[in-house]
Amino acid sequence: MITRFAPSPTGPLHLGHAYSAMLAHDMAKASGGRFLLRIEDIDQSRSRPAWEDQIYQDLTWLGVSWEQPVMRQSDRLDAYRATLDRMWNDGVLYACSCNRADIKAAAFAPQEGVSLGPDGIIYPGTCRNLPNDHTSLPNEAALRLDWSKIPVGAFEAGQAFFEETGEHAGRHVVSLDKLRKQVGDVVLSRRDMGTSYHLSVVLDDAEQGVTHVIRGADLFDATQIHVGLQQVMGLPTPVYHHHRLIRDENGKRLAKRDDARAIAKYRAEGATPADIRRLVGLPPAE
Ligand code: GLU
């Protein structure tokens, strides 16, 4: 088993992150496998070196150890670019200059039924068939994957599969038809970013040889996008394990702004790593 924890250095690690990291670390150790860390810092406007340092400190304190070197997404821009170049030349991407308001307006136009997918409003396709005079990758626009250009044969008769061992355990079908109609053309490169969460996570899990993706249940619905992209790019599909989310006393899931549950805060108040394990419902470390 090769698994990973992939935090974004945009705020303090809280109890939910600690649970995710320790669970993945425990599972890797129990199976004699490997645990990797990946810093997801493609959003340079929100990522801070200080948060990255805090991640290393908090994880070390929690008893989590990882292999060196740590993969950082900001070091991977050339790899993302090479994939986007290839897909652009294959004609499966298109440039999209819609902003959020444009997408909302088009999607809410009376003749269109508004639908929500795992990626938010299903993109109504405004830019899909615009004439396009770019011979190489345009930088000033977002790039979307045109699912309609992906042949059914890129999947197994239009279907792909993944195995889930956490919440919703079982074998799941990912259908190309559903990706076209109920997910929509996903952004693979944001304007001025050179990639997107979906593209990076899929390429990086493959590059790191991750066999088991262990992460929060909030990402379960995005998994069909990831599995679809693996088919398009000819990459292996790992096993997925989506774990329960850690919630506050009102049942709301923790967010980055829940500083009250930051690991650093518990540490400062004298909690031990064993206390944190108990709080998130993990058995004592061996
Ligand atoms: N970077 C993502 C986050 O912090 C996790 C992505 C993943 O595990 O696939 O929520």
Q: What separation in Å is there between the alpha carbon of 216 and the centre of ligand 1?
A: 8
Q: What separation in Å is there between the alpha carbon of 126 and the centre of ligand 1?
A: 29
- Say if CB 122 and CB 107 are below 8 A apart: yes
Confirm whether pTM is higher than 0.75.
yes
* Torsion sign, CA atoms 65, 246, 216, 82: negative
Q: What separation in Å is there between the alpha carbon of 89 and the centre of ligand 1?
A: 29
Query: What is the pLDDT, as a whole number, of residue 257?
Result: 67
Nearest CA to ligand 1 atom 3: 7
- Binding site membership of 6 for ligand 1 (Cβ less than 6 Å): yes
* Torsion sign, CA atoms 204, 210, 216, 220: positive
CA distance 162 to 238: 8
User: Per-residue pLDDT tens for 32-72?
Assistant: 999 999 999 999 999 999 999 999 999 999 999 999 999 99
Dihedral angle, C-alpha 3, 55, 46, 253, nearest 10 °: 70
Of ligand 1's atoms, which has the minimum distance to the CA of residue 218? 10
**By mean pLDDT, which of 22-26, 29-33, 113-117, 234-238 is the weakest?**
113-117
**Mean pLDDT score, 232-245:** 97
- Binding site membership of 219 for ligand 1 (Cβ less than 6 Å): yes
Mutating to test ligand 1, I would choose from 35, 73, 214, 215 the residue with most ligand atoms within 8 A of its C-beta, which is 215
Query: What is the pLDDT, as a whole number, of residue 104?
Result: 79
Nearest CA to ligand 1 atom 9: 201
Query: What is the pLDDT, as a whole number, of residue 112?
Result: 54
pLDDT level of residue 82 (50, 70, 90 thresholds): very high
User: Per-residue pLDDT tens for 105-164?
Assistant: 777 765 555 667 888 888 989 999 888 777 788 878 999 999 999 999 999 999 999 999
Query: What is the pLDDT, as a whole number, of residue 110?
Result: 58
**Mean pLDDT score, 67-95:** 96
